[in-house]
Structure 1
């Protein structure tokens, strides 16, 4: 199938952050995310509470967008909310701007939560393959979570390897795409990296890409180098998991709408 997870399949059988970097020269690059867990019986009330909270934000002129995602596989009673890429200073301003609706969230959403987690991610352009002008869209998203083995060498090896894989995809104009993000200050259970691979629908999700990912890498670097990159990637990983999310327009907040 089309999914980038196909190039991860070889690990199936067989974020230790080293410091926060400044935003890239191409602009704000930090994303904040929240994930909420609700009980099945509370799902309708929870969604109504989020809509009430979003209505409060709009009434107070809140200018920061939050994209809502439903979990389609795995725990389907999980919801994620992802900010636009921003600067670190923007999150200070966001916090102040949102205070007017804190009471709305506590009253309308908190009673229906089983739990909530939050963290930050930094977009890693050199580790991603996103053709110029391409976006992640508003369909389905395969979300792959990478936890690395401990140590600086594993962290560096993973980064260097994925950069070479992304460079091969860029050079060959490979039709697949993915966005890699490094996880920052997100708790002991958080992965080290998150990769997002978009699809417009389930049919697109299941479509094979020609050439396959590793065939493309072999075409660019040769078979021996492609195999070496596979081994390097495998050696750096402690755990990999994935799930699918779906864009939720009804719970998404966009300023002025």
Structure 2
């Protein structure tokens, strides 16, 4: 991601790298840098205008960094999430000359309107995720904080459920990410479910456990469901909408 704008906003990546306790059977997926901005009360319009000004400057200087800015629809306060893909860790060594030319705009027009910001790095999970790129503008994100003792079971269950769905000619439901950095309140994984619009959320679809029971039997459903629930310490979710005016999702 463009660390120049993040650092000019005074944000420091200060997470603890989590040990990967899950067997790696798939090639490593790309990384995603995620920065959550909590905006000062009453400053949302100024924050957005500051991002617009920075974006215009960046594009005028032929910047090629891409990002999505999502606005959280529920929860306390005004929260935006900046998400940017990275092929690997080496991208963090790069400098962005186009971003340097717009530093003053970030400092003067964006930073004053941010109450706090936290940054983390996640990794896309191949094999268990949808294969096509995310193009929808509404997402529901579910976060999973793993149980200290049984947490290792979660991905085992997810992979088994994915295999059952695959054998039933059903596609993967969403996009899984593992958190590689985190603070004490960070999740271990999150799942992104895309929707073309809010009306799509009204469509009742067959539940995951219904699919498992239909294709693998009730005993297998009970076994996997019990293991999954015991692997999770806490879970929560929010809906986010893409703010296109302050995003730059394609080159």
Instruction: Determine the C-alpha separation between the residues in 1 that align with 2:178 and 2:134.
Output: 17
Instruction: Determine the C-alpha separation between the residues in 2 that align with 1:20 and 1:52.
Output: 43
> Which structure's residues are more often helix, by fraction?
1
Report the CA distance shift for 1:197/1:76 in structure 2 as closer, same or farther (over 3 A): farther
Structural mapping, 1:59-74, within 5 Å: 59-74=60-75
Whether the 8 Å contact between 1:31 and 1:82 is mirrored in structure 2 is yes
User: Cα deviation per residue 1:106-165 (whole Å; 9 max; x = unaligned)?
Assistant: 21111001111110110112333x1x4x332232101001001114xx232111111111
Whether the 8 Å contact between 1:32 and 1:119 is mirrored in structure 2 is yes
Q: How many residues align?
A: 235
Whether the 8 Å contact between 2:37 and 2:117 is mirrored in structure 1 is yes
Candidates 189, 194, 201, aligned match of 1:193? 189
Structural mapping, 1:143-222, within 5 Å: 143-151=141-149, 154-174=150-170, 177-209=173-205, 211-222=206-217
Runs of 4+ in 1 over 4 A off after TM superposition: 23-28, 94-97
Instruction: Determine the C-alpha separation between the residues in 1 that align with 2:28 and 2:101.
Output: 28
Whether the 8 Å contact between 1:38 and 1:112 is mirrored in structure 2 is yes
Instruction: Determine the C-alpha separation between the residues in 1 that align with 2:202 and 2:39.
Output: 29
Report the CA distance shift for 1:55/1:213 in structure 2 as closer, same or farther (over 3 A): same
TM-score for the superposition, normalised by structure 2: 0.84
Question: 1:98: how far off?
Answer: 3.3
Instruction: Determine the C-alpha separation between the residues in 2 that align with 1:108 and 1:82.
Output: 20
Report the CA distance shift for 1:254/1:241 in structure 2 as closer, same or farther (over 3 A): closer
TM-score for the superposition, normalised by structure 1: 0.82
Instruction: Determine the C-alpha separation between the residues in 1 that align with 2:99 and 2:18.
Output: 28
User: Cα deviation per residue 1:208-251 (whole Å; 9 max; x = unaligned)?
Assistant: 11x33211111222110111100001101110000100111111
Question: 1:82: how far off?
Answer: 0.7
Report the CA distance shift for 1:232/1:97 in structure 2 as closer, same or farther (over 3 A): farther
In structure 1, the partner of 2:225 is 230
Report the CA distance shift for 1:77/1:159 in structure 2 as closer, same or farther (over 3 A): same
Question: 1:86: how far off?
Answer: 2.0
Report the CA distance shift for 1:194/1:28 in structure 2 as closer, same or farther (over 3 A): closer
- Structure 2 residues without counterparts, runs of 5 or longer: 1-15
- Structure 1 residues without counterparts, runs of 5 or longer: 1-14
3-state SS of 1:231 partner: helix
